[in-house]
Amino acid sequence: MLRRVVAQRYVTPLREGGSLPAIMEASDDGQYVVKFRGAGHGTRSLVAELAVGELARRLELTVPELVLVEIDAGMGRADPDPEIHELVTASIGTNVGLDYLPGSVTFDPVQDAQPDAATAARIVWLDSLMVNIDRSSRNPNLLTWHGNLWLIDHGAALYVHSNWKRPEESARQRFEMIADHVLLARAGSIVDADAQLAPLVTRELLEDVFALVPDDLLDEDVLGRTPADVRAGYVTWLLDRLDARDEWVGEAETACAALGAGA
């Protein structure tokens, strides 16, 4: 189960974020980076945030704690900034929060301590599976904090859900943008990462992960299916993608070798 907290105060916007995230204080006195259901990308990007983050954690990658953030009616009503007022008012209900890591800094691939080659390869593998375009050197979406690398911002992954068009086909598609991955140059063998991780990503694990996604984040389905059907759709799509992994693992390995990394 994910913890559920109630938003108490809008602290500050994170202006650099395209999805208008903000730091909010919640009922447990914690501060969270909140991804708003009313932010324009809709609840599907919140589903990706939860599912990719939670799968990463289960594969022993480091992710800030994910929580569900309840925004009650009335919240934001008093905010003098009309943009914030509108966003918060449009986000009444369940939203997604990541534990705020105070003092963390964006990972700098040139200056910062590098992750070990096996960890970098595991992150490249996960992003290829989830079709996460948002891990480039321009926008790494990795934070350095307490000497560790933390994975954040998975809202752009699982793009298939924008329209669920020909899912069997899209599951098998290559992912050329992996060539821009910020960790590719320091990744070890993607084939080895695959041999390690693919057996762990079972139907049961995927069902567990999607069971954490509450119904009210799944009710914007473009095909009008029930939340249970949508969860099953994600699980099937990811199992199909795993089935086709020779394709995308090979592609990542080739991109890695082109940079003189891998193996």
Ligand X SMILES: Nc1ncnc2c1ncn2[C@@H]1O[C@H](COP(=O)(O)OP(=O)(O)OP(=O)(O)O)[C@@H](O)[C@H]1O
**Residue 166 Cβ, how far from ligand X at the closest point, in Å?**
27
- Span near ligand X by CB under 6 A; candidates 92-100, 172-180, 188-196, 243-251: 92-100
- Span near ligand X by CB under 6 A; candidates 84-92, 98-106, 162-170, 237-245: 98-106
Of 16, 80, 110, 165, the one binding ligand X (CB under 6 A) is 16
Task: Report the C-alpha gap between 207 and 228 in whole angstroms.
Answer: 10
Residue 92 phi, psi dihedral angles, 5° rounding = -60, 135
- For Mg ion, the closer of residues 94 and 141 by Cβ is 141
* Locus of tokens 């939203």: 95
**Residue 261 Cβ, how far from ligand X at the closest point, in Å?**
24
Reported in sequence order, the residue ranges of 14-154 that DSSP labels E, i.e. its strands, are 22-26, 31-35, 66-71, 93-99, 105-106, 142-145, 148-151
- For ligand X, the closer of residues 134 and 253 by Cβ is 134
38 lies in the binding site for ligand X (CB under 6 A):
no
Question: Within 10 Å of residue 223's Cβ, how many Cβ atoms?
Answer: 9
Of 8, 89, 104, 173, the one binding ligand X (CB under 6 A) is 104
194 binds, among Mg ion, ligand X, none (CB under 5 to 8 A by kind): none
62 lies in the binding site for ligand X (CB under 6 A):
no
Task: Report the C-alpha gap between 34 and 30 in whole angstroms.
Answer: 12
What six digits make up the tokens of 164? 């669920």
